[in-house]
Structure 1
Amino acid sequence: MLGASLPPAAAAGAPDMPLQPVADRVWFVQGESAMGSAANQNFISNAGIVLTDTGVVVIDALGSPALAQRLIERIREITPLPIHTVIVTHYHADHIYGLQVFRDAGARLVAHARARDYIGSETAVRRLEASREELFPWIDEHTRIEAPDLWLGEGGHDEDVTLHIGGTDFVVRHAGPAHTPEDLIVSVPARSVLFSGDLVFRQRVPYVGLADSKAWIVALDRMLAFDPKVVVPGHGPVSNDPRSDLATTRDYLRYLRDAMAEAATNLEPFDEAYARVNWARFEKLPLFGAVNRMNAYNTYLLMEQEAR
């Protein structure tokens, strides 16, 4: 049950959310290439759906309870089987604010133990408070941050974990710290599909935030070791040519690091360094104006720390 947090006729005002086929019994929904807003109900990220013999596995829960409810309605169009598990690739708002709907529907929630630091943090509290203002009525006083039922990587044991669900194996690998400390990637070997979370952004500028961009680049290379035929990114369209399509995210991160490393080494003020850099290669990508300067500044600070 969705609860009292949704305004009336929420479904009628929901963004379009077609299930896009990826492989046999695998689908995903693609969020808008935009910043989260009340107008799009925070539908700016992707979610994956894998149908097994006994239930459905969902990868990420979208950015509001209304969106999660809409996703469940879409799932009900293809199967009456229960939603067994939701695997959370990382605890950013656009991927987790729908978790409460899946929990209320009886799903088990799975995430990495490094997410504990965020779930119990003042940052998470402040982010939710801001979302209640910026994304109202889709995020409101009833929206809550859900902790997982199953923590992976407990006690520092970070080997790959295989979840056996309904005759299908899901190989879950901790790829962080990278985009976030708790990054998970999810491989479904029988379907040759890999869900990358926000290690991969396609056809838009990535959100770097406080990421460890050096480790992120390494994680991209390790992800390709799965040799998937298809990668479902955290944002943007599905990739049928992973080695080529991952290059945009990797090249952008490398460019940021190279440009800001030079500035940090030369003690060049950030504003001067940012103005000097030639951003032409990336400036036509969606969300460049919204996130690139912030990405560059955070990378500048990171490169200062790495130089010490």
Structure 2
Amino acid sequence: MARSRPSLPARLHAIVALAATLLLSLAQAGDAPAQALQPIRVSEHAWYVLGDAGMASGANQGFNSNAGFVITRDSVIVIDALGTPPLGDALLAAIRKLSSKPVKRVILTHYHADHFYGLAAFKAAGAEVWAHEAGKEYFGSGEAAARLAQRQKDLFPWVDESTRLIQADRWLSGGTRFEEGGLHFRIDILGPAHAPEDLMLTVEEDGVVFCGDILFAGRIPFVGNADSKRWLAAIDTLAGLKPKVLVTGHGRHSTDAAADLTLTRDYLLYLREQMGKAVEEMVPFEEAYARTDWSRFSKVPAFEAANRINAYGSYLTLERESLAR
């Protein structure tokens, strides 16, 4: 016997129910960044939010980096702004749950997309953006536009055609100090290392250092064509400071900088050792990559996404270093 077809009202009801379910799912997905941003307190005045351990993706809505903030007597100082405009909105909302004081300043540790695409929310709130002047090259070279196009594709709808890239209001030529709301802050320039414009911010009364991507805690760092020799020197500088708390660009904060810097340091040293040997022996990259034993790092988060790119960038960097001798 033929199965009877649902009546038109029944089919319409099913369609409406399905549409409602989809809309609810989208609404919940849109709320996800705000729900995920739970500030972690690391000192009397300082907090940070912890991004996902992997690479930026549609699944984590671009939330794979950290950002921090310091609540002073009079205002709030923010360190980095996360990787999408909705995440910037969510970070500001998370801050507002803890303080209604004005956000006076955003200090960018470096101009990589996962750390500054959320700036619009803070500019709209009246904050001033500070960054190292080496970041100007990012906008002048075409790199910023190329990365935005890639992010609009890979992170849509969290990054879309309305996303605008915001440059610093104040470009720093070197380290500096400032006082705000009874606290003393120090900015030190560490780049070029992970990025040309790497800097770190120290909250002196709390002994807290925000070091950006000089340290990737618990995951493989993104190296690309970074100056790994300078990066290793910056790691030594950080370890020598012996901060009470080190807030990283990726991964959980550290209360033992010397120990927790080990993974990033050892990985960079291994890249330089293995790719440097290949360059000296004039072994083509593909062969060098295939013969390298990566087992020590292969189970660390972000290895699959980042390691090959890192190795190739290191190979090219060491070729340049060899030619410059």
TM-score band, normalised by the shorter chain? over 0.9
Give the alignment partner of residue 12 of structure 1, picking from 21, 26, 31.
Answer: 31
Deviations 1:41-98 (A, max 9, x none): 2101000111111111110000011011111111111111011110000000000100
Q: What does residue range 1-308 of structure 1 map to in structure 2 within 5 Å?
A: 12-14=31-33, 16-153=36-173, 158=174, 160-308=175-323
Please report how far the alpha carbon of residue 307 of structure 1 lies from its aligned counterpart in structure 2 after TM superposition. 0.9
Q: Distance in 2 between matches of 1:298 and 1:8?
A: 40
Please report how far the alpha carbon of residue 101 of structure 1 lies from its aligned counterpart in structure 2 after TM superposition. 1.2
| Number of residue equivalences | 297
Are 1:10 and 1:66, in contact at CA under 8 Å, matched by a contact in 2?
no
TM-score normalized by the length of structure 2: 0.89
Instruction: Determine helix, strand or coil for the equivalent of 1:244.
Output: helix
Is the alpha carbon distance of 1:10 and 1:70 closer, same or farther for their aligned partners in structure 2, counting shifts above 3 Å? farther
Are 2:238 and 2:257, in contact at CA under 8 Å, matched by a contact in 1?
no
Name the counterpart of 1:3. Answer: none
Question: Is the radius of gyration larger for structure 1 or structure 2?
Answer: 2
Are 1:11 and 1:70, in contact at CA under 8 Å, matched by a contact in 2?
no
Please report how far the alpha carbon of residue 38 of structure 1 lies from its aligned counterpart in structure 2 after TM superposition. 2.4
Amino acid at match of 2:284: P
Specify every segment of 5 or more residues in structure 2 that has no aligned partner in the other structure, as ranges: 1-25
Is the alpha carbon distance of 1:269 and 1:133 closer, same or farther for their aligned partners in structure 2, counting shifts above 3 Å? same
Please report how far the alpha carbon of residue 225 of structure 1 lies from its aligned counterpart in structure 2 after TM superposition. 3.2
What do you get for the CA RMSD once the two structures are aligned? 1.4
Name the counterpart of 2:11. Answer: none
Instruction: Determine helix, strand or coil for the equivalent of 2:47.
Output: strand
Q: Could you list the structure 1 runs, at least 4 aligned residues long, displaced by more than 3 angstroms after superposition.
A: 7-11
Are 1:113 and 1:151, in contact at CA under 8 Å, matched by a contact in 2?
yes
State, as a whole percentage, how many aligned pairs show the same letter: 46
Please report how far the alpha carbon of residue 245 of structure 1 lies from its aligned counterpart in structure 2 after TM superposition. 0.4
Q: Distance in 2 between matches of 1:263 and 1:289?
A: 21
Please report how far the alpha carbon of residue 247 of structure 1 lies from its aligned counterpart in structure 2 after TM superposition. 1.1
Deviations 1:150-173 (A, max 9, x none): 1111xxxx3x30021111111001
Amino acid at match of 1:55: S
Are 1:187 and 1:226, in contact at CA under 8 Å, matched by a contact in 2?
no
Q: Distance in 2 between matches of 1:209 and 1:39?
A: 23
Please report how far the alpha carbon of residue 39 of structure 1 lies from its aligned counterpart in structure 2 after TM superposition. 2.7
Please report how far the alpha carbon of residue 277 of structure 1 lies from its aligned counterpart in structure 2 after TM superposition. 1.2
Instruction: Determine helix, strand or coil for the equivalent of 2:134.
Output: helix
TM-score normalized by the length of structure 1: 0.93
Please report how far the alpha carbon of residue 226 of structure 1 lies from its aligned counterpart in structure 2 after TM superposition. 2.6
Name the counterpart of 1:4. Answer: none
More deviation, 218-227/99-108? 218-227
Amino acid at match of 1:235: H
Are 2:225 and 2:316, in contact at CA under 8 Å, matched by a contact in 1?
no
Q: Distance in 1 between matches of 2:141 and 2:122?
A: 23
Amino acid at match of 2:85: P
